[in-house]
Amino acid sequence: MSLLAIDDLTKRFGSLVAVHDVSLAVEPGELRAIIGPNGAGKTTFFNLISGFFAPTTGTIAFDGRDIGGLSAHARVALGMARTFQVTEIFPELTVFENVRVASEVAAGYRLRLWPSAHESAEIRRSVEGTLELAGLADKATRLVGELAHGDQRAAEIAMALALRPRLLMLDEPTAGMGDQETYEITQLIRRLHKDHNLTILLIEHDMRVVFHLADRITVLDQGQLLAEGTSAEIAANEAVQTAYLGKVA
């Protein structure tokens, strides 16, 4: 069964149809990239899946369960975590504190006033493990707001990972990054996918990143599904070349 199954999803803003009848199925363990020119509706599509706003029509099923009516936080509780195109972090807290909030919520402690010493130690270990994985262990005590852009993006991914997601949704993780930072984030995503078998849905503009990482690629154009296939199929697809790759070249 698909982990994420989307059927005929449509979102209208007044007369604008931002997402139009898009269907998509992501299998467990898959890394799926969503590409498309600016204004193709990729981020709107993400916002619909994560519960930022409700679809006009269509269904979203996560692990076989219809989640279209669930709030954003309920979707997180089911195992969907996301990052944003513009980094969303807690700037005046340290890297450790940023990730700790996520770990505590994931552990079900969000209303806890007095965690036991054992629970606190468990959270600490979990946060340290996540920071290690995201390559931020040496920056744990720094304020996130004072980090370099690439590290802030990594911190946001670390927060999403701390939620122990079954589906990780990354909205342009390499946006605004230099070559070295892009390389490091790409390697991180690759490790999460290959070593931890995490299912990942990825919006990305950088084609090198997409072709390097994705199992399958979905192409959106003007809110509609234009094509879907492997990297090779998408690279060879004429409609895609016209709509998207053609413009780049």
Partner 1 sequence: MKSGRTLRLAWVALMWLALAAAPFWMPFVGGYTALGTRVLVLGLAAMSVNFLLGFTGVLSFGHAAWFGLGAYGCGLLLKFGPPSTPLGLIAGTLLGGIAGGLLGALMVRRRGVYFAMVTIAFGQVFYYIAFQWSDLTGGDDGLRGFSRQPLQLGSLTIDILSNSNYFYYFVLVCFAIAAAIMGFILRSPFGRTLIAIRENERRARFLGIPIERHIWIAFTLSCFFMAFAGGLYALVNNFADPRGLHYSQSGDFVIMAVMGGMRTFWGPLLGAAVFVVLQDYISSVTVNWMSFIGLLVVLIVLFFPRGLLGLVNRRSVA
Residues near partner 1 (CB under 8 A) are 50, 71-73, 76-77, 81-82, 84, 88-93, 97, 100-102, 104-106, 109-115, 141, 156, 159, 163
Quick one: 8 or 92, whose CB is closer to partner 1? 92
Query: How near is the Cβ of 14 to partner 1 at its closest, in Å?
Result: 23
Which ranges in the chain belong to alpha helices (H)?
42-50, 72-78, 95-106, 117-133, 149-162, 179-194, 207-213, 231-236, 238-240, 246-248
Contact 9, 45 (CB under 8 A): yes
Q: CA-CA distance, 16 to 55, in Å (whole number)? A: 13
The dihedrals phi and psi of 2, each to the nearest 5 degrees, come to -65, 145
Quick one: 51 or 135, whose CB is closer to partner 1? 51
User: In the β-sheet with 167-171, what is the strand arrangement from edge to edge?
Assistant: 80-82, 167-171, 199-203, 31-35, 216-221, 224-229
Query: How near is the Cβ of 90 to partner 1 at its closest, in Å?
Result: 4
Quick one: 127 or 217, whose CB is closer to partner 1? 127
Quick one: 6 or 76, whose CB is closer to partner 1? 76
Q: What token pair was written down for 69?
A: 């009516």
Query: How near is the Cβ of 47 to partner 1 at its closest, in Å?
Result: 10
Query: How near is the Cβ of 97 to partner 1 at its closest, in Å?
Result: 6
Query: How near is the Cβ of 233 to partner 1 at its closest, in Å?
Result: 33
Contact 98, 89 (CB under 8 A): yes
Q: What is the DSSP letter of 93?
A: S
* 110-143 as b/e: b if 16+ CB within 10 A: eeeeeeeeeeeeebeebbeebbebbbbeebbeee
Quick one: 162 or 210, whose CB is closer to partner 1? 162
Quick one: 109 or 183, whose CB is closer to partner 1? 109
